[in-house]
Structure 1
Amino acid sequence: MTAVLLATPYYPPNLGGVQQYTWNLARQLRRRHSYRVVVVTTAEPGEAPGTQVDDDGVTVHRLPSWRRISNTPVGFGWTGAIRRIIRDEKIDLINAHGPVPLFADLARRAAGDVPFVLTYHAGRMRKGHFAPDLLLSTYESTLLAGTVRHSREVICASEHVGEDLPNLFAGRPTVIEPGADLDLFRPTPVPPAQRIVFSASLEKATAYKGLADLLHALARLPEAHLEVAGSGSAEQDYHELARQLGITERVTFSGYLSGEKLAEAYRRARVLCLPTHFDNYPTVIVEAMATGRPVVATRVGAIPMFVTEGGTGLLNEPGDIDALTTSLNTVLTDYTLASRLGAAGSEFVAANLSWQRQSDRTVEVFQRAMSPQPAPVH
């Protein structure tokens, strides 16, 4: 039985695109491909580090984290800890996930001669401020470049990633986008109620997901109700903003949802809205489309590559609350349009983006990485 180590800085119940990608991949590798799956990640603040086996038979090792700098966990002794896990678990292949700096790079250092595959989920990391942008640019051209160079295979989570970092990846990646579990996210007719769902992390560091913009738009849609699926350090700030806007009774904060509970939240809604200011390929959009829900989102990252204007959803520029309000009102008041967009989305995901298909493609990459390597030419 092949043993694979998935190295990711965060893992559910922490909510985010990379977390959901690795979680879904772990489940498919275990169930569909009979891999023995081990995850190494970091413990959440206040959470004790340790090891547990989840309901799917995946062994999860959580390493102690000293603190976070922006969205990057920082700890001590991680390289040695990962090296011991590789040895004790008899790992055949390591698949590390970026872009959060350092964790994937340390996993690559710990790998030794074990085949290493990098999966990268975002384009250039920029904050819009000189000092952090210089630091991130330096990281990409040094540590990350070394990790890419020493990877037997590279996977990018969208075409956008490779296009945004052409010098780094130089045509090497296999593109494997996030998928949806079609056994879980099944299409159903759109409901008549004017109900919106938003699903994302509510951490302060992920304010770019645009929930504040959506709350302002909701204040202009008096018949609409919003369900927020997510949790994090900024949750109370959003409660307060809803109170200030006078929409508290029309917003339900459901907390972190996953699996069937998240699928039910999509099915309760007429539309998924993700007015993100910065993103790559949000998994929640794919899941909502699989459920037969139209999408209102923004023209950022890879989103326009799979959410087509008037085909599977409606797109706006980030931060344009007037346009966001208009798009939401259109979908919420036109049942025929919502049904057509939702049906087109579910058909697209079923044909192209099931996690079953994406895991098959990932295993093909893993098998190439584990195949005998040619001897170096002297």
Structure 2
Amino acid sequence: MKICCIVSDFPKVTETFALANVQQFRAAGHAARVFHIKPFRSHEIVHPDAREVVEDAMHFGYFTPQTFGLAVRRALRRPMGVARVVRHIVKAFWSQPRHLAVSMMLVPQALALAQKAKEDGVDFFYAEFAGYPATVAWIASRMTGIPFGFSAHAHDIFITQSLLSQKARDAVFVRTISDFNRRFLVEKAHVPMDKISVIRCGVAPGLAEAPAPEAPVDGQPFQLLFVGALLPRKGVDVLLKALAWLPKDTNWRLRIIGGGSQEAALRDLAKTLPEGRVTFDGAQPSDVVHAAMAQAHLVIVPSIEGAEGRSEGIPVVLMEAMAHGRPVIASRLSGIPELVQAGVTGYLVAPGEVQALSTAIGRVMEEYPSALGLARAGQARVLADYNIGKNANALLELIRESK
């Protein structure tokens, strides 16, 4: 089967699941290829085992001769279909000019993809997000008759639900990553319950081979780790402020892996903490991230709700940390409590609560043997329910059922 997997940004270190799904589809014998809407992210770090998928990815510029040439050929075959698509988009986003403008920009690109897919014999369009990737898949499907399905993760459904119900009605399936999202889709976007399948994201089970952590000894510092984009919704400022509340004699070190727009501000905030306690390592390849997790005593994911409803789904970094058998503290946000169950598989705090996060960090330090017990339960949970191979195969089965 030829599967066209549609994403916005590619490659993107914070969306490793998109690459992993394509790799699993290929491993199962299918011709899976990525189409990315935005220009190629040449600055991203690509792990060697993903290079083949990355180099085979496809993109059409928004306003290029190639795009318009392909788009016109498809539009001439389905002129009324194009008119109906435009009418749906205008009706859905009439009161949201930014979303309307972007969605209209996607029409030529989606038409070009439709024409290319017809020429290449594509059997299925799979969009990794319910926002613009699903819009492109929806348009291409309407212009070709090739079926499509899409996944719903987080802010792709939280920011706006306009056009979402139309795309869901026309899709073969809507896959989402949490029960929280399924309820949201039914209640806010009026997606039929029987159209939605909950299939978690996942990580490779081999991560569980890392040695179990031990409490620091002989005056060694307690190693804390944050991994993720340095953006407001990641809550790194909350973490730094929480560390300031710890007793002055607490021996800790925080390693921050990731980059983003807030890095300068966070570096300034870190200067208010004792010198040398916080290091910023920038974005790193996956092998460095996993090595850092293997050395950490505690991984912290202090997410908050961002602007326009941007929020986490279930962060992959949590799955990875738990697969490594590391204790975790995370925010009680979106679908996170489905993975990190308070007092069962980890620790939860209210988003943005500085003192609550500080108290939780102090508790883990003081009761580390108990924290390790929760970590073992968390590791078992990830291996059972968040296995990337098993879950990608479940997603592939949804695609197969469309044929």
1:104 aligns with 2:134: yes
- What residue number does 2:32 align with? 37
Q: Distance in 1 between matches of 2:283 and 2:214?
A: 23
- What residue number does 1:176 align with? 199
Any gaps of 5 or more consecutive residues in structure 2? 64-97, 217-221, 306-311
Amino acid at match of 1:5: C
Query: Is contact 1:190–1:342 with CA below 8 Å preserved after alignment?
Result: no
- What residue number does 1:196 align with? 224
- What residue number does 1:144 align with? 164
Deviation digits for residues 289-308 of structure 1 (CA, Å, limit 9, x no counterpart)? 11101110111111111211
Q: Distance in 1 between matches of 2:209 and 2:62?
A: 37
Higher helix share: 2
Deviation digits for residues 66-111 of structure 1 (CA, Å, limit 9, x no counterpart)? 9xx79x9785632133224423543221111224x33321221012
1:212 aligns with 2:237: yes
Q: How has the CA–CA distance of structure 1 residues 45 and 109 changed in structure 2, closer, same or farther, with 3 Å as cutoff?
A: same
**Which of residues 143, 150, 163 is equivalent to 1:118?**
150
Shift of 1:247: 4.4
Query: Is contact 1:4–1:93 with CA below 8 Å preserved after alignment?
Result: yes
SS at match of 2:19: helix
- What residue number does 2:376 align with? 343
Query: Is contact 2:299–2:327 with CA below 8 Å preserved after alignment?
Result: yes
Moved more, 220-229 or 263-272: 220-229
1:334 aligns with 2:383: no
- What residue number does 2:110 align with? 79
Runs of 4+ in 1 over 6 A off after TM superposition: 45-48
Q: Distance in 1 between matches of 2:51 and 2:238?
A: 37
Q: Distance in 1 between matches of 2:60 and 2:366?
A: 49
SS at match of 2:326: coil
TM-score relative to the length of structure 2: 0.77
Moved more, 308-317 or 220-229: 220-229
Moved more, 216-225 or 305-314: 216-225
Shift of 1:6: 1.1
Query: Is contact 1:123–1:161 with CA below 8 Å preserved after alignment?
Result: no
Q: How has the CA–CA distance of structure 1 residues 6 and 338 changed in structure 2, closer, same or farther, with 3 Å as cutoff?
A: same
Fraction of identical pairs, as percent:
25
Q: Distance in 2 between matches of 1:73 and 1:209?
A: 25
SS at match of 1:177: coil
**How many residues matched?**
341
User: Considering only CA atoms, is the larger Rg found in Structure 1 or Structure 2?
Assistant: 2
Q: Distance in 2 between matches of 1:178 and 1:259?
A: 17
Amino acid at match of 1:218: L
Shift of 1:56: 4.0
- What residue number does 2:175 align with? 155
- What residue number does 2:284 align with? 257
1:354 aligns with 2:387: yes
Query: Is contact 1:281–1:302 with CA below 8 Å preserved after alignment?
Result: yes
- What residue number does 2:259 align with? 231
Shift of 1:253: 1.7
- What residue number does 1:8 align with? 7
Amino acid at match of 1:43: P
Q: Distance in 2 between matches of 1:264 and 1:277?
A: 26
Q: How has the CA–CA distance of structure 1 residues 187 and 344 changed in structure 2, closer, same or farther, with 3 Å as cutoff?
A: farther
Shift of 1:118: 1.1
1:323 aligns with 2:363: no
Higher strand share: 1
Q: Distance in 2 between matches of 1:333 and 1:267?
A: 20
- What residue number does 1:132 align with? none
Deviation digits for residues 14-36 of structure 1 (CA, Å, limit 9, x no counterpart)? 343xx2221221222223x1222
SS at match of 1:332: helix
